[in-house]
Amino acid sequence: MRPRPASVRRFSWRRAPASVVVLVVAGLVASACSSSPGAAGGASGAQPQTLTLYNAQHEQTTDALVAAFTKATGIQVRVDNDDEDDLTARIELEGSRSPADLFYTENSNWLQQLDDAGLLKGAAHITGGGITDNTPRILPQGLAARIELGSWPVLPIFERLRSIGRIPEEDFRRTFNLGIGMIVVVPKRSLGAARRILESLGEAYYEIGSVAASRGGRVIYEGR
């Protein structure tokens, strides 16, 4: 298996905060349709008792997210850990009969390539705690991430789970990563170079906001 990056990485900050933008690389969460009666969003519409997660991430990372989800919703999660390629092949073989409700894929070498190119200011793996709690860990004091809601597609399953668990919006953002696997921060002047690296590797990414001075919250959600 390919080596995976640490959950949080901090880098030196030598530029004004206005010169930094936040990029997100998707690829951690993919929805897998399930025909099992207990699956979220099933034909019956009944509240599921359990969800099945195919996981190619570190077990320690996934455990925190699963525990937060179960605490917020009361729904248990059965986790099947394996290599990403093996899990992908299994889902393809199972087709519509796959028991998987969610598939967490591993990170490729895109982060290492951004780091080698000297483009990274910081990187945070968005696990339990969501964007709200994980992003501030890579920002110096006095800076905040301004996140533009609607700047990336959120899979319908997340809203489905929020509805099932009747989770308040603030708690919802702290429980789920909403499809965002990793947040990386790069200087605005280096945005083009970062795009070229990600696109050359076939990685989906979204520009979801910026870093700015703030005396208040460390993560500020804007828009809808």
| pLDDT in the model for residue 106 | 65
Q: If phi over 0 gives left and psi between -120 and 50 gives alpha, with beta otherwise, what is residue 209?
A: left
Give the DSSP per-residue string, 37-96: TTSTT-TT-PPPSEEEEEE-S-HHHHHHHHHHHHHHH--EEEEEE--HHHHHHHHHHHGG
Give CA–CA dist 221/217, Å, rounded. 10
- What residue segments make up the domains of the chain, in order of their start? 8-223
**Centroid of chain to Cα 203:** 14
Highest mean pLDDT range out of 37-41, 47-51, 160-164, 195-199?
195-199
The residue that leads in pLDDT, 221 or 110, is 221
Whether the per-residue pLDDT at 61 is higher than 60: the answer is yes
The beta strand positions in the chain, using DSSP E, are: 8-10, 20-25, 29-31, 50-55, 76-81, 102-104, 122-125, 143-149, 182-187, 205-213, 219-223
Average pLDDT, stretch 187-206? Answer: 88
> Tens digit of pLDDT for each residue in 15-49?
334 444 555 444 333 333 333 333 344 334 455 57
Give CA–CA dist 94/96, Å, rounded. 6
For the chain, what is the mean pLDDT? Answer: 76
Q: If phi over 0 gives left and psi between -120 and 50 gives alpha, with beta otherwise, what is residue 118?
A: left
Q: How confident is the model at residue 7 (pLDDT cuts 50, 70, 90)?
A: very low
The residue that leads in pLDDT, 19 or 145, is 145
Average pLDDT, stretch 55-75? Answer: 81
| pLDDT in the model for residue 18 | 40
| pLDDT in the model for residue 67 | 87
Taking the domain 8-223, which CATH number applies?
3.90.650.10
> Tens digit of pLDDT for each residue in 91-130?
888 888 889 888 877 655 788 788 889 998 888 888 778 8
| pLDDT in the model for residue 145 | 92
Whether the per-residue pLDDT at 193 is higher than 90: the answer is yes
Average pLDDT, stretch 162-167? Answer: 85
| pLDDT in the model for residue 5 | 38
| pLDDT in the model for residue 37 | 36
